[in-house]
Amino acid sequence: MAARVGTVAVLALAGLALAVGACGCAAGGSAHVESPTPSAVTDASDERSATASPTPVAPATLSPHLSAAENLAFFDAVNLGVVSANADAGGRDFIDALVAAGFDRAQMQVTADRTTVDLAADSVQFSVLFQGECLVGQYGPASGGYHSAVRPALGTGRCLVGQTRPIDW
């Protein structure tokens, strides 16, 4: 029974990552995904019967030899896992999850969770410089859910404009 639950969870995560990746292709490389709902999880046998041809599966792990665009679905899966676990997630939650997933902390940036007048930020942005491009995520109440994109690195060799907070934990 535990093996079946684990298998269904892995397949659901892969399916979610694939759906997010498909959204990114249709929207010119950016994805907008509302917080996942339990009704989005389906049994693997339902997936197979609903699809006539095999569909590609997003990488279950980080693939450093692939491009940023080819790792976007995995980036999204990690971040959507954070959102699923904590609807009030802040920058550290995303950074810690991305590091645990294998992304290089030294290549990351994150904006502050609080404004200069100590109010909760409307959203938090976070990024990973990866293969010369930027995997960029955004989450917060003012952003309407989770968003992500692959963007070119800035002339500074970084991904986010403006002041970011040190990732010193």
Q: What are the tens digits of pLDDT across the range 29-50?
A: 444 444 443 333 334 444 444 4
Banded model confidence at residue 141, pLDDT cuts 50, 70, 90: confident
Per-residue pLDDT at 104 exceeds 50: yes
In order of 79, 95, 97, 109, the CA distances from 131 in angstroms are 19, 18, 20, 15
Structure tokens that stand for 66 in this block: 């692939």
Q: Which of 121, 120, 126 lies closest to 99, judged by CA?
A: 126
Tell me what the mean pLDDT of segment 70-82 comes to.
Answer: 97
What's the pLDDT at 59?
58
Per-residue pLDDT at 16 exceeds 50: no
Separation of first and last alpha carbons in the chain: 38
Residue matched to tokens 């960029």: 136
Tell me what the mean pLDDT of segment 3-24 comes to.
Answer: 39
Q: Count Cβ atoms below 10 Å from residue 63 Cβ, excluding itself.
A: 13
Structure tokens that stand for 94 in this block: 């995303």
What's the pLDDT at 54?
61
To the nearest whole number, what is the mean pLDDT of the chain? 77
For residue 145, the one-letter residue type is G
What's the pLDDT at 98?
98
Tell me what the mean pLDDT of segment 44-69 comes to.
Answer: 67
Q: Please, are residues 151 and 159 in contact by the beta-carbon 8 Å criterion? A: yes
- Tell me the percentage of the chain whose pLDDT exceeds 70: 65
Q: What is the pTM of this model?
A: 0.67
What's the pLDDT at 164?
96
What's the pLDDT at 118?
94
Tell me what the mean pLDDT of segment 94-119 comes to.
Answer: 96
Q: Domain extents for the chain?
A: 2-152
